[in-house]
Structure 1
Amino acid sequence: MRRLQAGSIRNYDVSTTNLVNAAIVVQKYVRGWIARSRRKVLQIKIASQVCKVNSLHSHNLAAAKIQSQLRGWLFRRNFLKQKQMVTRIQSNFRRLRFWRSFQQLRIAKRSIITIQSHVRGWIARRVAWRHRYLVGVLQRCCRGWLIRRKFLLQKDAVVMIQSAVRCSNCLKAFHCRKNAAIEIQRFVRGQITRKRLLGATHFHSATNGFCNFQTSVGCVQSCESDIMISSILKLQRWWRSVLLLKLKTKSAIIIQSCLRGWIGRQKASKERQSVVMIQSHWKGYLLRKESRGQLLDLRLRVQRSAKNVNDSMRIINRLKMALSELLSMKSISGILHTCATLDMTTQHSQKCCEELVAAGAIGILLKLIRSVSRSIPDQEVLKHALSTLRNLTRYQHLTDVLIESHGSIEIIFWEFLRNKEEGYFIASEILRKICSNHKGAESLRKRPALLKRLHSLVEELTRKSTIDKRKPLGAAAREKAERRLREALDLLKLITNMPSNDLMIRDGKRSAFGIRCLEHVIFGA
């Protein structure tokens, strides 16, 4: 029992010591916490007092800064206002000064231009007067030279005539005297010779002398008349040569005057053309200079109008609107105008073709083709509608759209079969475009009825061509029939790669005439 009690006392002492130590530790921590709390409270109080002092100081600084900023802003605003006022006053003063200088410069420019125009006009008039005076002097000199030349020619002609007349008179007198002397010498020599030879009596000699004297007188008279006639003939011949020379001279003068006049007119015409060319260039320069501002204004107006243009006024949108109202129109003139416009636009623009196809133009045109009659206005509408489809088939992707349209091939084919005017050839071109496409050829292969009608058309046209060759028809009609036959044969040539069962005729047998046509197309017979 004692051992147990001693052990328990020892254990009790140990536990008490631990409790004391624990209490001490707890007290230490509690006191430390209290001290720290008090320290924090003091720090908070000190910080609050410092914050109050700092906040008051910062408020004072902020107020001073705000006041300084406000005063600076007010000062800057007043300064800017004064600066703007000074700048405006300076700009107005400078503008007034420059405007006055510009007005003075413009007045001086106008004065200079007026002075220059007057000086140039005076110079031009002086040059024109100088030229006119020189032309007058030249004309006077030319006229005086021509008059003197004519006078000298006339004088030379008169001198030549006088010399010729005098020469003829001298020659005439000389020949008369010469002939008289020769006649006298001949008579004397004859008398002397006869006396020597005959030795006749005095009577005979006297008789013979008297007879010979009469004969010699007659011979002398005949010689004088012959000399006179020959002189007259020579004088006439010479006078005719003088007249001919005068006529030739006059003709040469006329030819020379005409030639010189023509040369002068040509030169004057060239000078006039040069003057007109210079005037036209100068007037064109002045007109371009004056219209430069107008062209610039017009260009700006066009640009502004292009910016402000409404989409409903564009050609493609107007075409779409007209296309949507095409089937509901009742006026044939409006339908014809719309179809002609579609034909023209699709002929020149691929974008218009694509936009119209996207708007459903193919279906509308096919319905329009089916609804037209055989009248002349409706045939014009049909021609423009087919021409529009032909313009669309120029593009491969639009040709595919046309082939995929319901009933398009049948409608175009029936128009090809029944039309005998220009629509026949337009439909033929459309069908050739369709047949050149693989899808179009496949779609045609699935329609044997159309192929049978095509064979029948070829047979009929060939028969008519054979008959027309025997008849004396006009060349235009024969050429048109041959052209229709060529179009049909070309279309048939594009379908020659089709199976044989697609080319059967109504009774199930191939026509021999159709076979000959195919051979003609394939082998070129």
Structure 2
Amino acid sequence: MAETVSSARRGRMDFSPVRRHDSNKENDVPVLSLIQFSKAPFLTFGTVKLGTSRSVVLRIENPTVDGDAEVTVEKIPSSKGFSVDHNTFTIQPEGSFSLTVSWTPTEEGGIRELIIFNANGILKHQAVVLGRAEAPKRKKYIKVWKTIKNRDLKSTASVIQHAYRAFVAGKETRKAYLQKKAACVILQAGFRGMTVRTELKKKHQAATVIQSFVRMFFCRKRYFFLQSAAIIIQSRYRALLLCREQQNEFRKLKQATIKIQAVFRGLRVRNDLNKRHNAARTIQAQVRMRRMRLAYLATQHSAIIIQQRYRAKMLMDQQMQRYRRMKCAAVVIQAAYRGHQDRRKIAKMHRAATLIQRMFLTTRDRKQFLAIKAAALACQQRYRAVILARKDRLDYLSKCSAVICLQAAYRGYEVRKRLRIEHMAAVTIQSHFRKHQQRTNYKKLRWASCVLQARYRATKKMRTEVRIIEQRHHSASVIQRAYRAHCERRHYFALKSSVLSIQRRYRANVAAKKQKKQYEQIRKAAIILQAAYRGQRVRKEVACHHQAATVIQSVFRKHREQAKFQGMRLSAIIIQRWYRAHVLQRKDRENFLMHRAATVIQSYWRGSVQRRIFQTKREAAVKLQRRVRAVWLGREERNNYTQMRKAAVTLQKCCRGWIARRQVLEAAQAEKRLRFTSAVFHHVSAIKIQRALRAHWALESAKRQIHSVITIQRWVRARQQRSRYLEDRKKVVIAQRVVKSWLARRHKAASIIQQAVRKFLLLRRQKRVERGIVKAQALWRGHRSRRLNDNPKIVKLRHRLRQVSADVREEDKLCNKTSSALDYLLRYKHFSYILEALKNLETATRLSPECCERLVESGATNVIFTLIRCCNRSVPCMDVITFSIQILLNLSKYHKTIEAVFSVEDSVETLLDLLQRYREKAGDKVAEKGGSIFTKACFLVALLLQDKHRAQEVMKLPKVLDRIRSIYRLTARKHKMDAERTIIKQKINASINGSFFVSATPRKSRPAFAPDWVLRKDKLKDIMDPLRAIQMVADTLCPYS
């Protein structure tokens, strides 16, 4: 990646045309325009003396009107002595920025370098730096050094002043720009409101497309700079799996949609079929009605019609009575239920009122009781004090009179002589008594005044605090209202700015692709032209370079120390800059995380509040809708019943009027016939009239019955159709609700996954930056250490290590050694192969945790314990046991593999057998094989028993404690004998040498177990003393025995 970037930079640098400046244009300010394929400006420093510095101003212009341009100085030849006053800055639309470039040459000769700028993270621009460094004239060293120092101080002061002025001007410009921007946004908000509302849907779709393209662009950029081929393959494979899951989900959704559509289409077809059936039934009913009409016309039995009329009348009366009874019963039940509900409410209110009154009366009575109790206590104390004072006074008076009488009788002469003294004593006693009375009264008064003052101050302070709390509550509500409005407004502006920036990025990406194609074509042509030109130029310059080499070497030796100083100074500045940037980045990261956490908590809280409000509103709306629908249905049923009743009454009225008119007409006709006919035909005419009347009545009755049947059928079918429609609608609503909830969960899961991925990428980027900083610091420290502490021995050792690293073979790697050792251990039975495999496994498990996990996964722990059980006391077998115990120790020091060592069958018993087998060698401290096996086995048992559960399982084994006690007694006895022998030897030596020191008792501390690849000072070393090893096992088992 670095080679690609450097080659691209060389390509941009190489085909830049060589431009010769006139001497009269040297003071002109060069300009860099931030557009595609703008010409690179030339910064000419002229001739600069070594030890001095010169600054040139570069004006950078932003001719675009879309938005601000964030410019970063991506590359500057700092090793040549170049520096800028700002590494990152922002240029407003159609604005400019003046950048100061300073050059302090470090070596003599001409120079041509590039400064690369990055605009908005997309476009790269270049500026060509030209200059020539010359050596100053030879003067005295002190004067030259003072001159250089003064110039450096002046240049540093000018740079600092220029930077501060630029910072102040930038701050003021930024403040003015923000004010103008706020005013413009306020003015634009009213104008763009209608346009934004009408085109919001289009913008959302465009934002989605733009976001997809922008994300594609950023992912592609990260791919070129940060990802490798393996990560691309993994991402493609995961995308394929995700695509398959999405396809499966889409197929399921499609099948569900097709099923719902099929159900809906079947419902529609069934509705059409029902309509056709209804039409067929209607036609059939009409046909049958016609047939029945003909049959009724043929039938002349009037008795049936009269019976139907009578029965209908009786049935109507019965239905009316039943309806009235049901109505009265419903009214009574409703009244009883409403009364019951009201009585329950009133009882509940009475209980609440009773409870409130009880609490109020309790509080009031308690206050009165406490006041009366305090008053009674005060009165009792005062009364007891008065009684006690009177009693003391009477005692005193009686004693005084007795003393006077005794003195008068017994000390006549002494009384007269000491009368004055006794008077003085009496006065003193009275004054003290009166003082005591006054003091008690004063204490009581002071206590009462203190109580009153404290009560008054507490009341006053309470009122003040209540007033302050009310003011704070009011202020907090105002602040919260303003803050919420501010948050909503800021969220809206953030969304708006993000949409605009995404659109701008997408358009810039499209334009960049077009410009890139043109740039590649121009670059190919320029490279062909440059190749011919460079050939000629290089051939000319080679001769000049050979001639100038000798001069450069002499000057370089002269100024080598100064160059070293400048290099160290620049390196220190770079390291400080990186460290300060890292500290600032960490602080900004912490602030960002705090703000984001607060935002997430607030969003969740507001979401919960809104959900509760929505649920209450939804429940209320459902109840209102249910009530309204019930009222509407009742009104419809009532209207239908009323219409049917009115229609029946109207039909009855019309039928009775028609019958009356027909009777009148028949009577008139009969009267006319009676005039023209004889008495013989009178009976026949009456029969014909009756027959016609009965036929008409039968026809009308049949019509009414058929109409009633059709109406009832239509109502029943409509009711059934509505119930089926409601069931289907309920199913569709449930399916839609399930689909919406699934989509919401899917969207939430996708957002959570995206948030986690962004967090992971950010953390990985931060870790990469930290590793880069640490690596740079390590490289710098290594370089400095090598420069300060290099000697021939270290250089020779370094070369030898490099040679060994270069000559390393593939089979010498730790992973390959582990694989071959496991293969030998599991396949071969020869003793030499097994011993070699155990040596390699011991090295691998001591140095690598991955090798430990791999050994456990291969099941080699069982094989190692089997080897330990099968070995005898020969020297090769002791070597095998030593390496096996060391491998198990390395596995037990790693927390992920210790359980695999303990879970082997009879592992603890095997280790105890080893302790008993090699205990006679335990007194030897020279680290022989037997003593080494004993101490390592003790160490391994102590490691396995560190866990409470494992120790309890070991305690359940038979005779474990007895075996450990016997081993401990034997080891302690031998150690005691060795100690006595050592003390005797020391005393003998002390008698000879005249000095004797008793060793101090070591302080017990809890050992820190850690693998060998963890480099810590408090890590427990290997134990060589057998008594200390068996004591460690005993101390481990002590809390559980």
TM-score (norm. length: structure 2): 0.20
Mark the structure with the bigger radius of gyration: 1
Higher relative contact order at CA 8 Å, sep ≥6: structure 1 or structure 2?
Answer: 2
Judging by fraction of residues, say which structure has more helix. Answer: 1
TM-score (norm. length: structure 1): 0.37
